[in-house]
Structure 1
Amino acid sequence: MNKVSEESVLSLPERHARILALLQQNGSISVTQLAEQFRVSEVTIRKDLSYLEQQKKLYRTHGSAILLSPYISDRHVSEKEKRNVEEKQAIGKAAAALIEQNDSIIIASGTTMTFLAREIRPAGRLTVITASVPVTQILSQDEQADVIQLGGITRSSSVSVVGPFAEQMLRSFNCSKLFIGVDGIDPDFGLTTTNMLEASLNRAMIDAAQKVVVLADSSKFGRRGFSKICDLEAVDRIITDCGIQAPYLDKLRERGIEVTVVNC
């Protein structure tokens, strides 16, 4: 019996297991693709996906399915900093290695930026512009680092500043690199965060930098925050960990983005 006919005679639990296996392999898959794969109607597949979503095993979106809900709510920095610690440390170390002698950089907000700051060992004189209060606290202790703390409204959840004053300050600067953390990376939707003021400040940071380096652990891929920062075309490099799924890695590299995968 050939493969197609085997797919068509699967029991309901077997079909559900195969659907989840395909999602693990591909990250997402459409209703049409599943219907063709299993030689059943799209109505049947929608019922399958509805059941699996009720079991909290996948998330349905726009005629397709993914493993997890892509939508992210804002969480306090004290909660975020406890997640994926080893991955963030490795990502921060890889990012710090990109900083050159007498460099001028921008560091955005987020817990991964704090891990980056702890790994920075300035060669020559380093100038850092940042929205993150913890980053300022760390780097201001280094005599070789000149730290410019952006001013504005302080977000208690991230302990960082946002708002028009910070954006206005950035218009006076031009830096070699922006190191930015995000809440979500979607190949189609781009970079996102949960706060619209932070997204606006991030866009101003992008305008003030020659290169954009995104630091994101693998849990951020396929997710979306409330506010869009930019399309992927604005990104030069992404540093992530080995948990990134192959389909996301392939799509990023196909679009000309340099991706560094650190060891887990």
Structure 2
Amino acid sequence: EELALSLNVSEDTVRRDIEVLAKSGLLVKVRGGAISPSASPLSFQDRADMFPDAKKVIALKAQQQLLGAKTVFIDGGTTMLAFVLSIPIDASFRLITNNIALLPLLSVHHGIEVIVLGGNYNRSTQTNVGVQTCLEAQKYQADVYFMGACSIDSQIGITASIQDEGEVKKILMASARKTIVLSNKEKLETADFFKVCELSAIDTLITDLPSNDPVLNNYRKFDIEIL
């Protein structure tokens, strides 16, 4: 209704245009309107080089959540590179991951037992995904799961641009006592086609913003911790 009034067109026209743009992938429909989709995919290295300061802030916040954890899940995403680099060299726990890009970084952590989930290797994300990955993930139980977010929207929840990645996230969530989502502010209020979960299903959201930033106000209605 607001769009129709501001553009001086009928609501039917707005609905038709939204439908066309959604089918073209230029936006994602939500209840009452539409939002912008997540950014177009870049190469893994390009993504790894983006927002270095934001990733360091997120990594330091996430590192503090490792205290007391004996078994940890970490999945894909370039923010996880910064996270692993922030882990103290004397850390000791079991790490289960499908993120192949982390392995060279973990080689210096002699106190961390690393279990790599098998599956089909996705070069664009440098992760193992697919049925085999999900089956192997179901064998384990973790104290905490650090999820790399693709897109987060306060209405839709957490979504993924690659279904295989999203399926792995679902399994890891179900097998962890606590789920912590890592996301820079650029991913907030964006959405993709594959639904991972509602925001109420996670325990903690970590961003590069101060926890009291007004940008995060839409997320405070959910019973989650915001760091």
Per the normalisation by structure 1, the TM-score is 0.72
> Paired residue for 1:133?
100
> Paired residue for 2:209?
242
**C-alpha distance in 2 between matches for 1:245 and 1:43:** 39
**C-alpha distance in 2 between matches for 1:246 and 1:74:** 28
Shift of 1:64: 4.1
* Runs of 5+ unmatched residues, structure 2: 18-26
**In 2 relative to 1, CA 157–144 (structure 1 residues): closer, same or farther, beyond 3 Å?**
same
Amino acid corresponding to residue 44 of structure 2 in structure 1: V
**C-alpha distance in 2 between matches for 1:104 and 1:77:** 27
Give the superposed CA RMSD: 2.9
**C-alpha distance in 2 between matches for 1:101 and 1:122:** 16
Shift of 1:147: 0.5
Are positions 1:176 and 2:147 aligned together?
no
| Residue deviations 1:127-166 (CA, integer Å, cap 9, x gap) | 0001111212212321100010111111110111101111
Q: Out of 165, 173, 179, which is 2:132 matched to?
A: 165
**1:221·1:244 contact (CA, 8 Å) conserved in 2?**
no
Are positions 1:78 and 2:45 aligned together?
yes
**In 2 relative to 1, CA 64–102 (structure 1 residues): closer, same or farther, beyond 3 Å?**
closer
Which deviates further from its counterpart, 134-143 or 107-116? 134-143
> Paired residue for 1:223?
190
**How many residues of Structure 1 are paired with residues of Structure 2 in the alignment?**
215
**C-alpha distance in 1 between matches for 2:160 and 2:28:** 21
Are positions 1:187 and 2:154 aligned together?
yes
Identical-pair percentage: 25
> Paired residue for 2:21?
none
Structure number, greater radius of gyration: 1
**1:193·1:225 contact (CA, 8 Å) conserved in 2?**
yes
**In 2 relative to 1, CA 124–115 (structure 1 residues): closer, same or farther, beyond 3 Å?**
closer
- Secondary structure of 1:98's match? helix
> Paired residue for 1:258?
225
* Runs of 5+ unmatched residues, structure 1: 1-29, 51-58
**C-alpha distance in 2 between matches for 1:60 and 1:207:** 27
**2:69·2:143 contact (CA, 8 Å) conserved in 1?**
no
Q: Out of 143, 149, 153, which is 2:110 matched to?
A: 143
- Secondary structure of 2:223's match? coil
Are positions 1:31 and 2:8 aligned together?
no
| Residue deviations 1:175-223 (CA, integer Å, cap 9, x gap) | 1110011111011211111100010011011011111100000000111
Amino acid corresponding to residue 183 of structure 1 in structure 2: C
Shift of 1:257: 1.3
**In 2 relative to 1, CA 60–43 (structure 1 residues): closer, same or farther, beyond 3 Å?**
farther
**In 2 relative to 1, CA 124–75 (structure 1 residues): closer, same or farther, beyond 3 Å?**
closer
**In 2 relative to 1, CA 65–163 (structure 1 residues): closer, same or farther, beyond 3 Å?**
closer
